[in-house]
Amino acid sequence: MIALLLIGVGIIPLLTSLVPALQAIATTILPSLFGETQSPALLARRILVTSLFAVPTYIAVIAVGQTMVWADRARRQEAQSARSELRALRAELSPHFLMNALGSIAQIAHASANRAEAALSALANVLRSGLAAEDELHMLADELGIVDEHLLLYRELNGRLDYRREVGDGLWQRQLPSRILIPLVENALTHGDPLPDGTRQLDISVTAVPNATRIQIINPSPLAPQISNGLGSGLDQVRQRLAILYQNRFRLTAAGDGGRFHVVLEVPHA
């Protein structure tokens, strides 16, 4: 910017003197056509006045242009930083999940090679969908498909699961952050209270609310409050991703109610 200003301050007087100089030459050669020749003092005064008006205008134009360039660069850097933070949050979830799954498969292998093979196949499907998910947003149908893959892996690793899902009409195409439900589902299965026969229970319902999509995840929970390590961290990671994507235009709540734990997520659909 300084270089442009210095160049402008030097060049503008030369440019502004060009027209008066040409006029002076024309009046000298053809006074009958262009009028009387101006005195050098009057000519210098015209050049000075024109330059005094032109230089500030030039500086203002340069300043506005540079401000727009800096603002665009700041927006690009902010977007890149947000994308990097989103990738970091997603990567933070994957190793923890992968290590737990591999540990469980190793234990299963001692009892049944067939079960271990089925669990490895389910894990491969989960990892394949995770590696293929490059976009930050995708359709609800895709997100619930990823949930289905995780639940299939859960059944292979942990046994019985009662899973019920209800999706309102016309909501399958709604946009959601990619893999945003996985930490919430994993929390429900890991920290929820099993039924007396050991079966885990999970309900997911999707409904439309004004200008948003509401997703509710419900699972049994102990009637007495218990300290559950890891539950808050999963919710915090989801909340951080949502804050980057939607600022304050989302809602995420988690609370127990009469032996049931409810997680409610609302994201704008536009």
Would you say residue 161 has pLDDT above 50?
A: yes
Q: How far is CA 139 from CA 17, 145, 151, 228, 267, in A?
A: 64, 10, 19, 32, 13
Query: Which among 50, 59, 40 has a CA at the least distance from the CA of 19?
Result: 50
Rounded to whole angstroms, what are the CA distances from 181 to 55, 125, 146, 150, 237? 59, 17, 9, 11, 11
Phi and psi, residue 241, nearest 5°? -60, -45
Considering 98-107, 223-232, 239-248, the range whose residues carry the highest mean pLDDT is 239-248
Indicate the pLDDT class of residue 34, thresholds 50, 70 and 90: very low
Mean pLDDT of 55-67: 62
Q: Flag whether pLDDT at 256 surpasses 80.
A: yes
- Residue 117 structure tokens: 């093979």
Of 183, 201, 202, nearest to 96 (Cα)?
183
Looking at residues 170-177, what average pLDDT do you find? Answer: 92
**Residue 94 binned pLDDT confidence (cut-offs 50, 70, 90):** low
Higher pLDDT, 89 or 255: 255
Answer whether 214's CB lies under 8 Å from 239's CB. no
pLDDT of residue 26 exceeding 70: no
CB 37, CB 27: distance < 8 Å: yes
pTM over 0.85: no
Tokens of 169: 């009409």
Contact partners, residue 119, CB within 8 Å, separation at least 6: 101, 104, 105, 108, 153, 156, 157
Q: What proportion of the chain, given as a percentage, has pLDDT over 70?
A: 58
**Rounded mean pLDDT, 117-134:** 76
Q: Tens digits of per-residue pLDDT, 225-244?
A: 555 554 556 788 888 888 88
- Residues counted in the chain: 270
Q: Report the alpha-carbon distance of residue 245 to residue 137 in Å, rounded.
A: 9
3-state SS assignment for residue 19 = helix
CB neighbours of 3 closer than 8 A, spacing ≥ 6?
Answer: none
CA distance 27 to 215: 83
CA–CA separation, 168 and 181 (whole Å)? 17
Tracing tokens 């540990």 back to the chain, one arrives at 103
- Residue 50 pLDDT exceeds 80: no
